Amino acid sequence: MACRDACPAGAIKGVNTVDHYKERDAALHFERCMERLTGEYAKLPHIGAAICGICIRVCPFGRKKRKHSSW
Instruction: Give domain status of residue 68, yes or no.
Output: no
CA angle, 48 as apex, 43 and 53 as ends, to 5°?
90
Ordered alpha helix ranges (H), the chain: 2-6, 30-38, 54-58
Instruction: Give domain status of residue 38, yes or no.
Output: yes
Instruction: Give domain status of residue 28, yes or no.
Output: yes
Report the pLDDT averaged over residues 23-30: 87
Structural domain containing residue 47 = 2-62
- What are the residues whose beta carbons fall under 8 Å from the beta carbon of 22, sequence distance 6 or more? none
Task: Report the C-alpha gap between 67 and 27 in whole angstroms.
Answer: 33
For the entire predicted model, the pTM comes to 0.67
Instruction: Give domain status of residue 71, yes or no.
Output: no
Report the pLDDT averaged over residues 9-34: 85
Distances (CA, A) of 68 to 22, 41, 61: 37, 39, 18
Instruction: Give domain status of residue 69, yes or no.
Output: no
Total tally of structural domains belonging to the chain: 1
- Per-residue pLDDT at 71: 55
Task: Report the C-alpha gap between 47 and 35 in whole angstroms.
Answer: 15
Instruction: Give domain status of residue 57, yes or no.
Output: yes
pLDDT grade for 51, boundaries at 50, 70 and 90: confident
